[in-house]
Amino acid sequence: MRLNHVTIIVTDFERAKAFYSGLGFVQIVDAPPRYARFMVPGNEATFSIEVTPEAKPMGPEQAHLYFECDDLDATCAALEAKGYVFAQKPTDMDYLWREARLKDPDGHDIRLFHAGKNRLDPPWRLPRDA
C-alpha cells in the first residue's frame, strides 16, 4: 500500500493554488473553481486542495501537514524572500527533526522539516521483524 495523496478543504481556490505553487509544488490538475492537485517535489505523492460548500474548513488543530526538505534552512530563506512568514524558524526539535512552521491562508498548520535517517529510523523505532 502506498499513500496516494492528501486533500485539504480550502475557502479560496485561487489563493490556495498560489500559496502551494509558491511552496514549490507542481500543479498537475486544475479543475476550477473546486479542485487542484499538485506533485510534491522529490517523490510520487500528491497533494490536493478542494473547495466544498457543504464542508467546513479544517481547523489547524485537526492536522499538521509535514513536507520534508533536503535543505530546510535554504528552503525557508527562499520562501521568506518571497514573503512567506514563519511562526517558527528552522529549529532543532527534541524528536531529532529540524522543523519550521507556518500557516497557509486558511490556517492549516504547515511544517517543513528535515529528519534524515531519523524520519524512518529514529532511536526509539520499534524493532523490525526478523
Q: Is the pLDDT of residue 8 over 60?
A: yes
**Secondary structure E strands in the chain:** 5-9, 26-31, 35-39, 46-50, 64-68, 88-92, 98-103, 109-114
pLDDT of residue 55: 64
Question: According to DSSP H, which parts of the chain are helical?
Answer: 13-22, 72-81
pLDDT of residue 59: 60
pTM, full prediction: 0.86
Q: Is the pLDDT of residue 130 over 60?
A: no
As a whole number, mean pLDDT of residues 19-35 equals 95
What are the cell numbers at 15?
Answer: 489563493
What domains, with CATH codes, occur in the chain?
Answer: 5-119 (3.10.180.10)
Alpha-carbon distance of 59 to 78, in angstroms, equals: 27
Alpha-carbon distance of 127 to 130, in angstroms, equals: 9
